[in-house]
A and B are shown apart, each in its own frame.
Chain A
Amino acid sequence: MSDLHSSSETVATLKLLLIGSSGTGKSSLLMRFVDGVFLAPDEISATIGVDFKVKVIDVEGKKYKLTIWDTAGQERFRTLTSSYYRGAQVYDVSNRDSFNDLQTWFNELDTYCSSKEVVRMIVGNKVDKESSREVSRQEGQEFARKLQTLFVECSAKTKLGVQQAFDELVQQIIDTPSLWQKQAPANVRLQPNAETQEYSGCAC
């Protein structure tokens, strides 16, 4: 649906950025949202540097073009990717470490993002792996509250919460006109929320 709509009638182009530890499913999430298909993180080639996908969405009858930037989670790519921290955010609920890394990601964002006005969202991914969950929903919410960001749990695999995550984020951006009216990029952080999910997913 996205590509058909990417006509000139879009109100604004919003820039989203997915960051988070490797294997938390940033690319999967993106693929689910944009292409409507699911590939486990194992199946999508590890992102090198940065990549992006485009999707046009309708909000209150207006079309917004989303440029969603996906980044590599590996440490070594940090310098390459950090330069893009001028715009969304995701994490993995099935992986404790990926959650613990969140603070680091936020620090990075603070350093490299020149705009103070960034909409941030923490996404806990892989909630389908409920059995191997390592980060409770409450924990995620606490953290998001502490950092004053949006929070959502989702599963790229089951589609649960994916649309909601992006909708909420976009809504927030639209509600902050200074972010997009002046073409300032909006940042979205993706943090892998589901701790156990990744592991189990990989194992299968």
Chain B
Amino acid sequence: MADMDADDFENFEFIDYTTSGPWEKFIIQIESCLKQWGLVHNSYGVFNPKRMPATDENTDLDQELALALHDDNAQSTPPPAEASASPTSAPSPSSWSNEAGTTGSDATSQDSSLSNYQHDSTITLDGDSYTLSYRYHPAKARIASGVERVDLDFLPTTLEGFEHHSLHRWTGLTHILVLSPAPDSTSQIIDLGRAKLLQSSFAIAFQNTGCNIPVFVPTGQVRNRTYTGISIRPQHLHTRDTDLGLEELAEDQAIEVRFNTLLVPYPPAHYTDLAGILELFIERMGIDDDYADMSDEDSGSKGGYSQQLKEQIFVSALFSYHLDNWYDEDWRQWADKDDDTTARSREHLPNLPFGPVQDPLKSIQLVARFASAPSTVYLDSKNLTDMDASQANIWILKAIFKPDDYGMLSVILEDAISSWSAEVTSLLEANKDLESDKDQGSYTSLLRKGARLIQGTIAMVDVNDVENIVDDLCTTPPPSASPAPASSQPTQRHRTFSQGSAGRIVTAAELGLHFRRATTVPYNSFLWKMLRHLVDVISPNSHISYPTSFMGFTKAVWADLLVQFDNYWKRKEMIPLIEIFGGMTDESDDGDNESSGVPIKTAFIDFRFNLLHQKLTMINCCIARELARRQDDPSPSPPTSSSTPTSPSTGSASEEATPVQPKEQPEAKGDVLSGSSELEDNTSKDAIADDKARPDSSGSTNAVEEKSEALNEAVGAMNLSVCSDSPEATKAMPLVAHQGKGGLKPYKDLKLLATGEPLMIPKLQEQGHMTEDMIQDQEDLFENLGSSADAAKTRAELQSAQLISDMGAFKAANPGCTIGDFIRWHSPKDWDEKKGHMSARMADSGNFWQELWEKAEALPASKQKPLFDHHYQAERALSYLKGLSGSQIFVQLLPSICLLAYDTLTSHPVSTVSPQAAKAIQELAQVLTDFPWDELSASEKSLDLKPVIAKFKQVEQTVGHVVSLLRKFPEQYSLVERILKDSESVVEDGTERDCVFTVFSAGGFTKTVFPKPTCREFVMETFDPVSSPSSSFVGAPGPTFVAPDDLTGWDARPLQRRMYACYKDSEVRIVEAIAKDGMFM
């Protein structure tokens, strides 16, 4: 003791700290917390509703100080008795020195903000540390700002996804302090005695600071969540804006409110109805004392109280009904008139499933709210009750969905993509292994390889299934070889979206055109349908039950289709669903053009779609060309056939050879062009075929002398002809001149300069077709020539074939014509009508046009060597298709697969009725538009497709939710929309309410009556009229749905008494608040 005294003395010298006991210390800690939060003089401090949401001014928890405090706790372990020790008793010096150092900063440093609605701070008493948290429920502020309708009697425990403390709901208070044992504290249970002590500390602190926020202390088992609490409210409040925390009043005389929690398991039947707990309320609150006279009167009547008394007690109630979703196999069935139209447009093609497999709805919850009213209004007793849901004023419906559901559509996409990446990986690794195997032929690497093979490249495929798909694709009637009438447009689904503000949903057909850089196939085209079948194979709904992989199946189907393409070409039959007149997309202006000017429509390859589709279009263009040629000229073989390398394909003799023959050139091209993998070169190149093909192709088409061999080859492959090559070909033909052959019609009223004959427009050779890769090759070739004048000349020569052909045809049609005549027709701007001569540039002696004019032989277009060798080009296109690896095909098809999935979602009528679903789909469309599809590469999967799949999953879930809810509440679009938006919604009177009622009374397994409430909550309130008069103060948590003015008749200052009772799971929780005048201490 002497030592301690000595220490004390020493310490007192430099510590200016006069309070001594741990209890006092504790109170000071509380006060500093309260001050820090601004809870002084009846203020709401940091949670002033007027300033919420305010900036977070809290300093972070200072680690050092926290540590110091912790040390302090460890050292000072005084017995509990010391808590009540007088301030003068000597504390342990070491602990004091520590505490003195920390206490001052406690207030500023011990606070850590957990959220916008909670401030926490740690305080200690006798070595037990507690967490004091100041919690705020924004309900009132939200109402004030008109955000929403919140039930003030039953504050929602979750708001905007934030979990608020249950005490808010139980007490109806928006601002509370909660003291609880710190998480690291040894004992989580506060016994009653301790609780009293703690509360007394707060009572003192409240008095000192003028804080009017109640504090709650848990007692008993944690899981019971029972609390006692206290608040000190100052007297003399004039106004009702206590909410606003502006009162600055004397705290000398105050009202003390005590809170208490009772948790009663299996309450006596007597107390389970309103009548019962009303009696309980009256008893508990000691109201009978105040109504002494009345209770005397009523004492005779059994258990009853006077009407008058009961009228002064206000009751509000909340009944919750819970309906577990029942199993509904047809949950996704859509009860809508539009249904059959979509069914028709889908034809026989398999439908892709989307959304979760099972109904995503877990349960629905209905909350029936009985507004605050005098207790006599409601009748609820043992035998009789009118408090059932149908009588409630307000219904709130809430839908609970199963978390993180599985999305069938996104899983299909995932499957498809993973089967591709597995293949890419296994091929890459196989290549690597080939290299590394030489030095490292270990057993494990063999195993790995084996595993990969099984995983990546082997898939089960039933030949019949493949055949079925191919048959289906090939049985569609082929498109016509001549421009089709506008009626050939595919089923066009017009979407009339009622909510104009929400914007339009882009159809899949249109969205395809917005994909980055021409990476899709046309809606409902051949490849589109193929994908529909292929994707269906891996869909859970597929009739194909064995496990297979998308890649495996694709390759099998593709192999079959290649044979089919070959056959189409051999039979000169158009491949179905490959439009060569660009009619596949539903563009309105396109249709107009078609009807007005049919003859203008020429076959062309649409560069807005991917190369695969372009190649198929090329084949069809070639077939159309051949068909047209046959029509014009019924003789079996064209005059020029002998000079084209691929012409044997028309005859039957060398049919086996043809597929191989043209393989060499295009493939080499393709590789350079698309930068496709080397592995492709290694695996599929056929050296023998190369050797065979070379002499054939180089020897025939390009009989050009002065150009290098390499250039020739490239030029030949590109549908270019060198000018000098034309006369040579025509020499073989009999010269037919000066007879006006091949003229179509006179051009304007022009007369030939020399002869005065009408100037005839000749029939010209139809122009050739090119696919994107061919153009690219040509461009590269041109670029490689360089930018010199010579190169420019060469380029002009390379492109002059068509001009020569035109000139030849013109000459044939207009015997005796001159180049001037030709220019007048071909390039009118180069002819000066007034002066009657050509422009300077044309008239120039060295002009290239004149040179060409000299070369051109008069020959009608039909007799000329074709500019476009459709036989050769068709074979090239076919061999391009054959040369594609599975991975390359997949890369070309992936964007369309996503488009297909998008179509599945937009095709569902739900997007027309639900703005939520529509919005989700629009977002998806944006994601798909922004995705860099053009960067997909066949050899590496560097592109991250996860965001796309994630978006798909999100959208299909949203759509699934809408579908599921609309199935439960048919045609209640508005209600469903509100529920989806905020997870719960007030049910409007009328059809909405009827519909919900029907669901609850007919729903579930019982299918008979409205279910019993799973939870009943009551709030009873009254104000003690007896206490001293003068103020019309109404307690902050006044009844919500009754204007406080209704209570102004009460002359006395009302002392609030409130009881919350909740019946749930065969137990009752009662939280009572009893106000007492004056300080009890």
B848 in the interface (beta carbon within 8 A): yes
Contact in complex: B607, A45 (CB < 8 Å): no
Contact B802 A76 (CB under 8 A): yes
Q: Provide the bound-state CA to CA distance between A83 and B806, in Å.
A: 20
Instruction: Determine if B517 and A74 form an interchain contact, defined as CB atoms under 8 angstroms apart.
Output: no
Q: Is the CB of A48 within 8 A of B800?
A: yes
Contact call B841/A44, Cβ cutoff below 8 A = yes
Are B841 and A198 touching (Cβ within 8 A)? no
Which of the residues A50, A112, A114 comes within 8 Å of B517, measured between beta carbons? A114
Which B residues touch A52, using CB under 8 A?
Answer: 782-783, 787
A161 at the interface (CB under 8 A from B): no
CA distance A112 to B606 in the complex (A): 7
| B144 beta carbon closer than 8 Å to chain A | no
User: In the assembled complex, which residues on chain A have CB atoms less than 8 Å from the CB atom of B827?
Assistant: 22, 46, 74
B592 CB to nearest A CB, Å: 13
From B470-478, B732-740, B767-775, B1015-1023, the one touching the partner chain is B767-775
Interface residues of B in 300-320 (CB under 8 A from A): none
B829-877, CB < 8 A from A: 829-830, 832, 839-842, 844, 847-849
Partner of B848, one of A48, A80, A113: A48
- Apart from A46-B830, A202-B829, what are 12 other A-B pairs with CB-CB below 8 Å? A43-B841, A45-B796, A46-B842, A49-B799, A50-B799, A54-B787, A76-B806, A77-B802, A111-B608, A112-B607, A113-B607, A202-B839
Chain A residue numbers with a CB within 8 Å of B516 are: 115-116
In Å, the complex CA distance between A79 and B868 comes to 13
Q: Contacts of A83 on B, CB cut-off 8 Å?
A: 607, 770, 775, 778
Chain A interface residues (CB < 8 Å from chain B): 3, 21-23, 40-54, 67, 74, 76-77, 79-80, 83-84, 86, 111-116, 178, 182, 184, 198, 202-203
Residues of A within 8 A of B787 (CB): 3, 52-54
Q: Do A51 and B840 touch across chains, with their CB atoms under 8 A apart?
A: no
Asked if B518 contacts A114 (CB within 8 A), the reply is: yes
Closest to B779 in A: A84
Closest residue to B768 on the A side, CB-wise? A79
Q: List 7 A-B contacts (CB under 8 A).
A: A23-B830, A45-B844, A51-B795, A83-B607, A111-B608, A113-B607, A114-B518
B607: chain A residues at CB < 8 Å are 83, 86, 112-114
Is B422 an interface position by the 8 A CB rule? no
Cα A5 to Cα B787 with chains together (Å) = 14
Closest A residue to B610 by beta carbon equals A114
Rank and list the top 5 A-B pairs by shortest CB-CB distance, nearest first. Answer: A49-B799, A114-B518, A42-B840, A23-B829, A79-B767
Q: Is the interface of B mostly helix, strand, loop or mixed?
A: helix
* Chain A residue at minimum C-beta to C-beta distance from B799: A49
Q: Is there an interface contact between B796 and A42, defined as CB atoms closer than 8 Å?
A: no
Q: Counting chain A CB atoms within 10 Å of each CB, which of B779, B783, B932 scores highest?
A: B779
Q: Residues of B contacting A84 with CB < 8 Å?
A: 775, 779
The residues of B that contact A43 with a CB separation of less than 8 Å are 840-841, 844
Instruction: Decide if B847 touches A45 in the complex (CB within 8 Å).
Output: yes
Hey, which chain A residues are within 8 Å of B849, CB to CB?
Answer: 45-46, 48
Bound-complex Cα distance A103 to B782 (A): 29
Which residues of the partner chain B approach A54 to less than 8 Å between Cβ atoms?
Answer: 787
Quick check: A80 and B934 within 8 Å, CB to CB? Answer: no
Q: Is B803 an interface residue (CB 8 A)?
A: yes
Instruction: Select B518's contact among A3, A77, A79, A115, beta carbons within 8 Å.
Output: A115
CA distance A114 to B832 in the complex (A): 38
A-B pair count, CB < 8 Å, reads 102
Chain A residues with Cβ below 8 Å from B802 are 76-77, 80
Which residues of B801-832 have CB atoms within 8 Å of chain A's CB atoms? 802-803, 806, 826-827, 829-830, 832
Q: Interface of B with A (CB < 8 Å)?
A: 513-514, 516-518, 606-608, 764, 767-768, 770, 772, 775, 778-779, 782-783, 787, 792, 795-796, 798-800, 802-803, 806, 826-827, 829-830, 832, 839-842, 844, 847-849, 932, 934-935
Q: Is B772's CB under 8 angstroms from A114's CB?
A: yes
Q: Which of B767, B782, B783, B841 contacts A42 (CB 8 A)?
A: B841
- Expressed in whole angstroms, the minimum distance between the Cβ of B600 and any Cβ of chain A is 12
Among residues of A, the one whose C-beta sits closest to the C-beta of B614 is A114
Chain A residues whose CB sits within 8 angstroms of the CB of B932 once the complex forms: 178, 182
* In the complex, residue of chain A having the shortest beta-carbon distance to the beta carbon of B825: A76
By a CB distance below 8 angstroms, the chain B residues around A74 are 826-827
| A residues less than 8 Å from B934 (CB atoms) | 182, 184
Q: How far is the CB of A4 from chain B (nearest CB, A)?
A: 13
Min distance, Cβ A102 to any Cβ of chain B, angstroms: 16
A43 vs B778: C-alpha distance when bound (angstroms): 27
Bound together, the chains give a CA A67 to CA B787 distance in angstroms of 10
Q: Please indicate the chain A residues that have their CB under 8 angstroms from the CB of B792 in the complex.
A: 51
Chain B residues with CB below 8 A from A115, complex form = 516-518
CB distance from B608 to the nearest CB of A (A): 5
Complex CA–CA separation, A48 to B802 (angstroms): 10
Residues of A within 8 A of B832 (CB): 202-203
B584 to A: closest C-beta gap in Å:
14
Cα–Cα distance between A67 and B827 once the two chains are bound (Å): 27
For A21, list chain B residues within 8 Å (CB). 829
Distance, CA A22 to CA B849, complexed state (A): 15
- Which of A48, A51, A198 has its CB near the most chain B CB atoms (within 10 A)? A48
Known: A48-B796, A114-B517. A22 touches B935 (CB 8 A): no
Within the complex, which residue of A42, A51, A116 is in contact with B839, where a contact is CB–CB below 8 Å?
A42
The answer for the CA separation of A80 and B779 in the assembled complex, in Å, is: 12
Contacts of A112 in B (CB 8 A): 607
A113 — nearest CB in chain B belongs to which residue?
B607
Residues of B close to A182: CB separation below 8 A: 932, 934-935
Q: How far is the CA of A76 from the CA of B934 in the complex (A)?
A: 32
Contact (Cβ within 8 A) B841 A41: yes
- Which of A44, A49, A67 is B795 in contact with, Cβ under 8 Å? A49
Taking the closest CB of chain A, its distance from the CB of B718, in whole angstroms, is: 11
Asked if A50 and B783 sit within 8 Å, CB to CB, the answer is no
CA distance A114 to B775 in the complex (A): 13
Inter-chain contacts of B935 with A (CB < 8 A): 182
Q: Please, which residues of chain B bring their CB within 8 A of the CB of A22?
A: 827, 829-830
User: In the complex the two chains form, what is the Cα distance from A80 to B829 in whole Å?
Assistant: 20
Q: Which residues of chain B have C-beta atoms less than 8 A from A76's C-beta?
A: 764, 802-803, 806, 826
A113 to B800, CA, bound (A): 24
A51–B778 Cα distance when bound, in Å, is 11
